[in-house]
Amino acid sequence: MNEYGKLWVVATPLGNIGDLSPRAREILTDADIILAEDTRRAGLLFKRLELARHGRLVSFFEHNEDKRLPRVMSALEDGQTIALISDAGTPLLSDPGFTLVRACRDACIDVSPVPGPSAPVTALSASGLPPLPYTFLGFTPRKKSQTEKLFEVHRDTGATLVFFERKSRIKGTMQIAFDMLGDREFCVARELTKEYEEFIRGTLGSLENMDFDLLGELTVIIAPAGEPGDTSEEELASMLDEEREAGGKPKEIAHRVAERAVGWTAKEVYATMRSS
């Protein structure tokens, strides 16, 4: 008989506290230990939920996960029940916890999810963009070159791309997306389930029309490309001739053509210019 404890992976509200499930409430109340990214935020959440917890709060975030792991595993082996939560939504999706869940599986310790709110799925469901297939990318890398590589890898998969971005980086990341993916529909979802919830729609080729002064948590959705070859090579050559006459550096011309050409990225246009 397995006398180990159990790890619960518990989804918590994105903003609206009415989204906490009754089962999640029960588990968070009864758990011996609650692992939280930010114990202060977790304490405020429990206060808003009017939840009288039995267990103690323990910080468990990206930079202390490896250090905390032996102690957490020891508690589980002693038969304690542990609940893992993130700051909001479903744990492990761009949040800590994978190392712990994998260690529990390897040690034959029970792990059970308590499903609920998830920002990627919530945003996708109300975005009006194709829901299937989709690929969740987490947070984009800090370095521009790594973000370019990420978009390049997923450019031709035919999947809708979903990712998180910080407000200070959103403008630059959307420009990189246009450079690497071409002109596609996008939706930026902010403050999901909260009072000022907003879905901002547009196209990557018209970013100059977007107000990037955004507050709150941002989830970005970019639709897949249209049918390949919507703009033929002959049509592209004609556009290039027109834009060359208008003047500018080669990369500027490539950007202008990519804004007009369907199915072509600025990088592809630039490569065509160099080979012609």
Q: What is the pLDDT of residues 201-217, one digit of tens each?
A: 988 988 988 888 888 88
What number is the average pLDDT over the span 112-126? 96
Confidence of residue 144 (pLDDT cuts 50, 70, 90): very high
What separation in angstroms does the CA of 188 have from each of 51, 67, 82, 91, 128?
A: 33, 36, 35, 22, 11
**In the predicted structure, residue 230 carries a pLDDT above the cut 80:** no
What pLDDT score does 126 carry? 95
- Asked if residues 53 and 77 have their Cβ atoms less than 8 Å apart, the reply is no
Confidence of residue 229 (pLDDT cuts 50, 70, 90): very low
**In the predicted structure, residue 121 carries a pLDDT above the cut 90:** yes
Determine the straight-line distance between the first and last CA of the chain, rounded to whole angstroms. Answer: 72
Q: What angle do CA 189, 222, 155 make, to 5 degrees?
A: 155
Query: Cα(155)–Cα(51) distance, rounded to whole angstroms?
Result: 45
Which residue, among 151, 33, 9, has the nearest Cα to 93 in the 3D structure?
9
Q: What is the reported pTM?
A: 0.79
Lowest-pLDDT choice from 156-170, 181-195, 252-266? 252-266
Query: Cα(256)–Cα(229) distance, rounded to whole angstroms?
Result: 18
Calculate the CA 146 to chain-centre distance. Answer: 16
Q: Name the H helices within 50-169.
A: 65-77, 98-106, 119-127, 144-154
**In the predicted structure, residue 179 carries a pLDDT above the cut 70:** yes
What pLDDT score does 228 carry? 47
Average pLDDT, rounded, for the chain: 91
- Asked if residues 87 and 14 have their Cβ atoms less than 8 Å apart, the reply is no
Among the ranges 179-183, 235-239, 266-270, which has the highest mean pLDDT value? 179-183
- Residue-wise pLDDT for 55-108, tens only, equals 899 999 888 989 999 999 999 999 999 999 999 999 998 888 999 999 999 999
